[in-house]
Amino acid sequence: MVFGLEEKVFSPPLPCQARYPEVVVSLACFLLLFHRLKRRDELPTNWPVIGALPAIIVNAGHMHEWITELLSAAGLSYVIKGPWGSPIDVIVTADPANVAHVFTSNFSNYPKGEEFAALFDVLGDGIFNADGESWAFQRRKAHALLSDERFRAAVAASTARKLRDGLVPLLDCLAASGAVVDLQDVFVRLTFDLTAMFMFGLDPGCLAADFPSVPFATAMDAVEEVLFYRHIMPVPWLRLQSFLKIGHSNKMAKARQVLDASIAEFISLRRERATVTTGEDDHDLLKSYLACQDEVGKEGAEFDRFLRDTTLNIMVAGRDTTSSALTWFFWLLTKHPDVEAKILDELRAHPPSSGAGHHTAAELKRLVYVHAALSESLRLYPPVPFEHKAAARPDTLPSGARVGPSRRVIVSFYSMGRMEAVWGKDCLEFRPERWLTAAGRLRHEPSYKFVAFNVGPRTCLGRDLAFAQMKAVVTAVVPRFRVEVDAGFAVRPKLSIILHMKDGLKVRVHKREEASSA
């Protein structure tokens, strides 16, 4: 007999009646724990070994909403620990003071770092991953290109042409057929074409009536999903997947092959016509990068790698953020007809100049209420819902929390727009008027409070370009069409590094009576 083993082996099993109370108690304990984890008014417990994993699992289907309610209850910041081996040991925050400290006043102590670069390895050494002089050079170059008047004029012209010849005819057909369409897919295709046009000087033709399959776009969707799960999965499991070439690791590898091949093809096509003058389309970003090889200081394969990383980073920024913003904006209009009516009033008061057929850049700037409505939509549904930072040296945040190399900071941009302490009691309302002064002018909000375009030295360089493109879409679509969400369709955020809708946005498009008569 060893430690009572014989008694356990030869003892007759207990009848069901004897075990029944134990089963009931165990089930009751499980249900009690599950109920407690589902209660959003209670903060998650960081258990030994497993951390807050039970709460994370229970709330995984509505992560953004859970984090929002958690931060509201916790006073804007809360520490969450994952299980042993997990990359999760973070302070999640929506505190503007913490944001200003990390992204601006103490910017040098929060570089992207090796950990971030490894997490987002698919982006290579592009501007999103770069630090130091590499980041500074890329930012200077991008700023110079985006500020060039010829480039901005070319982008405006190509955008107007794409809307006139692509988006509007497509919506006309959909309105005539009465078919249900995924409006998010339409906007992703539109912004993919627009970004490729100002990046490479060519139109991939993704936005077409037959909705062609675009491997590049599909691969980008897969990459963004994998990058999100890398934030929450245990590191040993990620390494095992990589070793066995299974799961998310295999999905990333396949997607990366498609991205690399597509980018290489785009670059090759642009090089072939590098010596050809093509008018307005000749002011694309890639041509400018090809012309500054000596300034970049790279040759051969290194320069090709630089072009690949640079163009991929811009493609991700241009396609996904703008399409996300447009999708949420048009969904909000379906829920707020009063806002839509005010937009229509403003567009009637500021029609496009005679003969132009579309609003010029100067005319788009005069659309104050449209700008306010877009800003309000971005406040509630920022395209990049969160960002994480790691301190190079130990630091204390304004909220009092200690951080360091082993504890990261995750800022929930999604939650910040829903904090009563930040935006007031009406923080959950879609109210464009909050962006207007009594005189009807645009109200400025500091970037550490309105974080849709990032904060501090890494503020998005394409902010003005993005607003101009979104306004152009609004002025092309809203006066002509009314969008109606398909009956019974439920909208919810997708778990990704970009705030797309999980199942798209299924709508029917109706032509406005005044547009038909015109």
Structural domains for the chain: 57-113+149-207+319-517 (1.10.630.10)
Range of weakest confidence among 79-83, 133-137, 157-161, 478-482: 79-83
pLDDT mean over 75-91: 80
Q: Work out the pLDDT band at 189, boundaries 50, 70, 90.
A: very high
Residue 120 has a pLDDT of 86
What pLDDT digit, counting tens, does each position of 472-516 carry?
Answer: 999 999 999 999 999 999 999 988 889 999 999 999 999 997 655
Strand partners, 265: none
* pLDDT given for residue 514 in this prediction: 64
Among 133, 137, 148, 142, which residue's Cα sits nearest to residue 317? 142
Q: Output phi, psi for 387, to 5 deg.
A: -145, 145
The confidence score (pLDDT) of residue 25 equals 41
Higher pLDDT, 265 or 31: 265
Predicted confidence at residue 465, as pLDDT, reads: 92
User: Which pLDDT value is given to residue 425?
Assistant: 97
Torsion of CA 149, 151, 156, 162, to 10 degrees: 170
| Burial profile 306-326: b = 16 or more Cβ within 10 angstroms, e = fewer | bbbbbbbbbbbbbbbbbbbbb
pLDDT at 36 over 50: no
Tell me the C-alpha distance between 483 and 187, whole Å. Answer: 13
pLDDT tops 50 at residue 31: no
Residue 19 confidence (pLDDT): 44
pLDDT average, residue stretch 100-112: 94
Q: Give first-to-last CA distance, the chain, whole Å.
A: 96
pLDDT value for 17:
45
Write down the mean pLDDT value for the chain. Answer: 85
Q: What is the pLDDT of residue 28?
A: 38
Say whether pLDDT at 117 is over 70. yes
pLDDT number for residue 11: 38
Is residue 469 pLDDT above 50, yes or no? yes
Q: What is the pTM of this model?
A: 0.86
pLDDT above 70: percentage of residues in the chain: 87
CB atoms within 10 A of CB 165: 12
Give residue-wise pLDDT tens across range 142-152: 888 888 888 88
pLDDT of residue 336: 98
Nearest partner of 274 among 206, 217, 200, judged by Cα: 200
- CA distance linking residue 460 with residue 384, whole number of Å: 12
Give the list of residues 6+ apart from residue 366 with CB closer than 8 angstroms, or none.
350
What is the structure's pLDDT at 381? 98
Region 259-274: what's the mean pLDDT? 86
Compare 144 and 9 and report the one with higher pLDDT: 144
Q: Tell me if 418 sits within 8 A of 76, measured CB to CB.
A: no
